Chain A
Amino acid sequence: MRLQYAPNVRIVEMPCSGTIDHRVLLQTFEDGADGVFVAGCMEGDCHFLKGNFRAKKRVHQVKKILDEIGFGGDRLDFFNLSAAQGQRFAEIVKIMTDRVMELGPNPLNKSAKKEGGAA
């Protein structure tokens, strides 16, 4: 399976999506990420039973915060994805990169703003 996906994606591995923290997600944007998605296991497949559900709730809470402060929650999303779904992973990466290209660069990233670049 030689799938291609956008090269400007950085993968951060976590032991479980349930370990994701509001602070980590906000930090990524402060550090200049244009978009972030959290990939948790398929519903019902969590080894720790509820990790992916908790991750989803936290991501939605951070989306709310980002909307509230005017940054925009669209730059963040959660997807359920199994390790065997390479095709779906490539699709999601495309969805997110397309969305980010449309939204433009992270407003905190001044150098990208000047250059008019994105993603």
Chain B
Amino acid sequence: MIIAQQKPVKDVAAMISNCKKVLLVGCAGCVTVCLAGGEKETEVMASSLRIMRKMEDNPLETVTYTATRQCDPEYVDMLGNMVQDVDAIVSLACGVGVQYLAERFNDKWVVPALDTKFIGGSTVHGNWEEKCGLCGDCILHRTGGICPIIRCSKSILNGPCGGSQYGKCEISKDVDCAWQLIYDRMSALGKLDKLMEFQPPKDWSKSRDGGPRKAVREDVMID
């Protein structure tokens, strides 16, 4: 899922300092699961903003709503009645949601309340780690299910660098060397020979190097 974190309330307040009424839109997708922009977080943000503004003798009226997903036009359309009389929309979604709202309601000031961090998952409740580099050409079958693109600090594709010591990366003793993990797993699986197979240079045009990407499934398109 997409992992995001809330911006400081003061930063969000600064973005809407000249507004009297705002709509805060949470998202019931990834940011609910990573506890950054779900229904509860949206209401806490709204309450915090109201308290701040009331202390400044400049009360703020808030409306809150949590969309099923902010990255699907059909759910964004549901906000139609709520945006009419607001001065701004505060999106508690990832960067995708913010852009969907800005595109749909192009006469409204749309601001992000979250910083979109990475694609990852939780290790324990309250701790999330980056796991996928979105390279567009998955090689996990060659690396024992461990992604060197994002879990190696240098995204090296052919083994560890000189900074790998005792299984840790040189950037921090808390960061595992991805290539050590890959070697250990492939070794345990008895598939070390796979690491010796010749690999052509990775096709980075499928990643960001090819510009903004699209995925099309004509078979599921509704006419």
Q: Which residues of A approach B to under 8 Å, CB–CB? A: 21-23, 26-27, 29-30, 65-66, 68-71, 107-108
Contacts and interface: CB of A to CB of B under 8 A. Distances in A.
Interface stretch (B39-47, B88-96, B185-193): B39-47
A21 B50 CA distance: 18
Given A30-B50, A68-B10, A69-B52, 10 more contacts: A23-B47, A29-B51, A65-B9, A69-B9, A69-B48, A69-B51, A70-B52, A71-B51, A71-B55, A108-B51
B20 interface: no
B173 interface: no
Contacts of A22: 40, 44
Contacts of B40: 21-23
| Main SS class of interface, A | helix
B54 to A, nearest CB: 5
Q: Which of A22, A27, A69 neighbours the largest number of chain B CB atoms within 10 Å of its CB?
A: A69
A51 B48 CA distance: 25
Interface in B25-53: 40, 43-44, 47-48, 50-52
Contact of A70 (B44, B50, B55): B55
B55 A108 contact: yes
B88 to A, nearest CB: 18
